[in-house]
Amino acid sequence: MDLNAIGVFFIAIILWPSVTSEMLTSVDPPTNLQVTDPGHLGQLHIRWKAPLSLTNKKLCVVRYMLRYCNVDSTNCKRVITRQLKYTDGFNLNKGINVKIQTLVKEQCINGTELHSNWIETIYWPSMEGHADSKGRDLQCIVYNLEYMDCIWQKGTSAPHDVNYALYYWHKELEYAVECNSYIKNQGSSVGCHFQGGDFIEFSDFNICINGSSEMGPVRPAYYTLQLQDLVKAAAPDKINMTLSRTDTIYLQWDPPTGKIKPHCLEYEVQFRGKDSHWESKIIPEGATSTFLNVTAKPMYCVRLRATVNIFCADDSFWSDWSSVQCLAGHSEGGEDVIIKINFLAELVVLIALASITLVLCMSALYWIRWKRLIAKKKPNMLLNDDTKNIKKSSSISC
Ligand SMILES: *[C@@H]1O[C@H](CO)[C@@H](O)[C@H](O)[C@H]1NC(C)=O
Ligand SMILES: *[C@@H]1O[C@H](CO)[C@@H](O)[C@H](O)[C@H]1NC(C)=O
Ligand SMILES: *[C@@H]1O[C@H](CO)[C@@H](O)[C@H](O)[C@H]1NC(C)=O
């Protein structure tokens, strides 16, 4: 090995003057650009050959710049590689435009990098069948990382006898496999149920829904999913509420059981007093307890739901709401003191009110008696009527 390396070095020294003497001033594009579909429902292989003019120039650093995107898209990917092949995921619902050019730098040129012209090819996946015959609006939900259900809708102009089939592929499968548990509606397949073993996260999960019909071909529909972004957690459970001070509820719960890591969850707590609206509070990053500030109400109710947080996925679904848990504000335990204080305060107010009414009634009675005395001294009908009225009202208020 070492001898070989030394040999190459000496050959390089011998060749050096001839190489430098024929500096490249331009470079040819690669040849034989080809796109092939290995049947992975979205993955394509791109291959090409080095330009002939560079085959004898072993010392040149040759690289290739690839640009590829769907035919009607301007959002193309750019990749630079020294290999003669490249593999990536594509959207097979449309044609795919692939361009490539040669880049040369260092020994073979003087100054800046040389770029060849682009060569280009367009790859057309199978486009048979009417565009609106394909299964549409695929929706997949990964329930608590335990199983996944995918549902689709029939194409708007699909033949009435269409029979859809779902195939899927991910990098741990050698070839695409068919769904083995279809969800049926009136005899026809409208979805697929996946067991936990079929999952792969942070990698393309490719789906093709194709179909057959007596009336003619059905256009296949392709989807590429990231399963970690489609998770719907189970509803949180085992909620504990404690009234810790008059205006504070301490709330604590267990994360939903299952494969989702507890630090990957966040929660929404909703709480409300009797007869009021739900108020919301978001509890971030895996915390499983919180304090709620509440105003004096006879009863408090809470409910919780969970979702995967942004540190573990780009997107997710909210879980269902937990069952509603309620806490009567004036109840057991250490809160007795507060309740007694409240009770005493109410008692004081009641006594004060009673005393005031008593004093008022007494004064009214004394005033009536005094008026009667005067009336006896100077008889007057009008005054008597007045005293009658006063008697009436005083009897009502006392
Ligand atoms: C490289 O280019 C510079 C100016 O662009 C020139 O002076 C120099 O001689 C060139 N070298 C070779 C080896 O061609
Ligand atoms: C649907 O796609 C799968 C996988 O590519 C293929 O094996 C199957 O023959 C196709 N079915 C129809 C009806 O085109
Ligand atoms: C709820 O409170 C009870 C009694 O204080 C305790 O035994 C239980 O472990 C608590 N539950 C949780 C989920 O912490």
Ligand 1 atom closest to Cα of residue 20: 13
* Contact by Cβ (8 Å): 325, 302: yes
pLDDT tens column, 93-129: 999 999 999 998 866 777 778 899 999 999 999 889 9
Sign of CA pseudo-dihedral 16, 22, 24, 27 = negative
Task: Give distance in angstroms: CA of 28 to centre of ligand 1.
Answer: 22
pLDDT at 310 exceeding the cut of 80: yes
Order of all β-strands in the sheet with 205-212: 177-178, 163-169, 205-212, 221-225
* Contact by Cβ (8 Å): 206, 177: no
| Ligand 2 and 222: CB distance under 6 A | no
Quote the CA–CA distance of 213 and 223 in Å, as a whole number. 21
133: tokens are 């015959």
Order of all β-strands in the sheet with 31-36: 31-36, 43-49, 85-89
Quote the CA–CA distance of 65 and 99 in Å, as a whole number. 8
Reduced to 3 states (helix: H, G, I; strand: E, B; else coil), residue 66 is strand
Ligand closest to 163 (CA) is 2
What architecture is the 233-344 domain classified under in CATH?
A: Sandwich (2.60)
201: tokens are 């996260």
210: tokens are 């194709």
Ligand 3 atom closest to Cα of residue 254: 13
Ligand closest to 110 (CA) is 1
Task: Give distance in angstroms: CA of 110 to centre of ligand 1.
Answer: 6
Running DSSP on this structure, what letter comes out for residue 106? G
| Ligand 2 and 192: CB distance under 6 A | no
Nearest CA residue ID for atom 4, ligand 3: 240
In this structure, whether the domain defined by 131-231 belongs to CATH 2.60.40.10 is answered with yes
For the chain, give every domain's residue range: 3-123, 131-231, 233-344
Task: Indicate the range of 94-98, 287-291, 298-302, 350-354 predicted with least confidence.
Answer: 350-354
Quote the CA–CA distance of 351 and 44 in Å, as a whole number. 87
Crossing angle of the two packed helices 336-377 and 381-397, in degrees rounded to 10: 170
pLDDT tens column, 207-223: 999 999 999 999 999 99
Task: Give distance in angstroms: CA of 85 to centre of ligand 2.
Answer: 27
What architecture is the 3-123 domain classified under in CATH?
A: Sandwich (2.60)
